[in-house]
Amino acid sequence: MKVVVADKCGFCLGVRRAISLAEQTLEENGGFYSFGPIIHNADVVEKLAKKGLETVDSIDEIESGRILIRSHGATRKQINEIKDRGLDITDATCVLVKRVQNIANELESDGYQVVIVGDHGHPEVQAIRGSTDYAIVVDGIEELSKIRYNKKLGVICQTTQSPQHFGNMVSAIMQHGFGEIKVVNTLCGEAIKRQESAAELCRDVDVMFVLGGKHSANTKKLAELCKKYNNNTFHLQNKDELDEKMVSGMSVAGVTAGASTPDWVIREFVEELEKL
Ligand code: SF4
């Protein structure tokens, strides 16, 4: 089977930096804690756990030591709690996420009602919201009724949303008659390049594979996008989920991967696929 890998796929800059910071800290200081899984990829979390990076869901679970803030960032309240407990911090918040937090803060200080277009449950969105006092999160057009009409709005976006969704939401907000709307494009260029490169590849292949954790928001978005352009799209975690039936009667397969999928998962998958 001929296999074509998307030009841009796999680890983004923010994830690479978080992992290398974690590895460096493990080497220098020994075992420590990660506040939530370092990335949404079970293989990487397991690998780092063996080296001493223990994932905790709550700061209360830690009496002393060091804690990693992952690339999604943390809320002001969480950072204060960490400091109050006297824990050391390894801050792996992606610079692009930090930028969005700062923008949200500045907009709020300037009197704007901050509106974040994003997934309610995503840790990055919660961290951006939690770096302000009053920001509102809206996922879809049906949620726009949450915004009060007398406000001037500062609209920003979760870094990994698609430009199409952000554009649709901004357009819908514009039609609601607010007096002043300031839109700041906070989409991540890395995520957009992955989406564009995957969409392009989808058109030229018989079957498309999107590799990455089932909880990874950007991988899920990538899989939804690929499905639009190629109905034979499969979202798999790794080579173990590959089934020969998926490629039966097909000759060209495309492969892309979310920003939290390591190179070795992609490599192993491609090798397995090429054997079919
Ligand atoms: S997808 Fe973009 S914003 Fe998110 S961690 Fe990676 S580089 Fe940073």
Q: Which of 188, 253, 241 is nearest to 217 (CA)?
A: 188
> Which atom from ligand 1 is nearest to the alpha carbon of 95?
8
Q: Which of 226, 184, 185 is nearest to 203 (CA)?
A: 226
Does any ligand 1 atom lie closer than 6 A to the CB of residue 160? Answer: yes
> Which atom from ligand 1 is nearest to the alpha carbon of 218?
1
CATH of the domain at 43: 3.40.50.11270
Q: Give the pLDDT score at 123.
A: 93
Considering the domain architecture, whether residues 82 and 138 belong to the same structural domain is answered as no
Considering the domain architecture, whether residues 156 and 211 belong to the same structural domain is answered as no
- Give, as one character, the DSSP assignment of residue 186: -
Structure tokens at 152: 């001037």
Q: Give the pLDDT score at 150.
A: 67
The helix (H) or strand (E) run that includes residue 196 is helix 189-202
Does any ligand 1 atom lie closer than 6 A to the CB of residue 222? Answer: no
- Give, as one character, the DSSP assignment of residue 17: H
Nearest CA, atom 1, ligand 1: 191
What is the whole-number distance in angstroms between the Cα of residue 187 and the centre of ligand 1? 9
Q: Give the pLDDT score at 235.
A: 97
Considering the domain architecture, whether residues 25 and 84 belong to the same structural domain is answered as yes
Q: Are 185 and 144 in contact (CB under 8 A)?
A: no
Considering the domain architecture, whether residues 152 and 195 belong to the same structural domain is answered as no
Beta-bridge mates of residue 178: none
Q: Are 235 and 269 in contact (CB under 8 A)?
A: no
Considering the domain architecture, whether residues 114 and 177 belong to the same structural domain is answered as yes
Q: Give the pLDDT score at 50.
A: 96
Considering the domain architecture, whether residues 112 and 148 belong to the same structural domain is answered as yes
Considering the domain architecture, whether residues 161 and 225 belong to the same structural domain is answered as no
**Domain extent at residue 132:** 96-183
In this structure, how many other beta carbons lie within 10 angstroms of the beta carbon of residue 108? 17
CA distances from 248 to 171, 232, 242 (A): 43, 11, 12
Q: How far apart are the first and last CA of the chain?
A: 6
The total number of structural domains that make up the chain: 3
CA gap 262, 41 in Å, rounded: 8
Structure tokens at 208: 């498309």
Considering the domain architecture, whether residues 88 and 101 belong to the same structural domain is answered as no
Q: Which of 183, 213, 242 is the last residue in one of the domains?
A: 183
Q: Are 2 and 207 in contact (CB under 8 A)?
A: no
Considering the domain architecture, whether residues 80 and 26 belong to the same structural domain is answered as yes
Q: What are phi and psi of 7, to 5 degrees?
A: -55, -45
Chain segment 107-130, per-residue pLDDT in tens: 999 999 999 999 999 999 999 999
CA gap 65, 161 in Å, rounded: 35
Does any ligand 1 atom lie closer than 6 A to the CB of residue 217? Answer: no
CATH of the domain at 254: 3.40.1010.20
Considering the domain architecture, whether residues 118 and 164 belong to the same structural domain is answered as yes
Does any ligand 1 atom lie closer than 6 A to the CB of residue 13? Answer: yes
Does any ligand 1 atom lie closer than 6 A to the CB of residue 73? Answer: no
For the chain, residues with pLDDT lower than 50 are none
Q: Which residues contact 218 (CB under 8 A, 6 or more apart)?
A: 160, 191, 194, 212, 258, 259, 260
Place of tokens 């803030």: 69
Q: Which residues contact 15 (CB under 8 A, 6 or more apart)?
A: 39, 71, 94, 259, 260
Beta-bridge mates of residue 256: 210
With the most atoms of ligand 1 within 8 angstroms of its CB, the residue from 16, 41, 94, 161 to mutate is 94
Q: Is the dihedral of CA 81, 84, 89, 95 positive or negative?
A: positive
Q: Give the pLDDT score at 180.
A: 92
Q: Give the pLDDT score at 262.
A: 92
Considering the domain architecture, whether residues 61 and 113 belong to the same structural domain is answered as no
Catalytic residue numbers, as ranges: 124
Considering the domain architecture, whether residues 115 and 127 belong to the same structural domain is answered as yes
Q: Which of 93, 124, 140 is the last residue in one of the domains?
A: 93
Q: What are phi and psi of 6, to 5 degrees?
A: -60, 145
Q: Which of 40, 58, 93 is the last residue in one of the domains?
A: 93
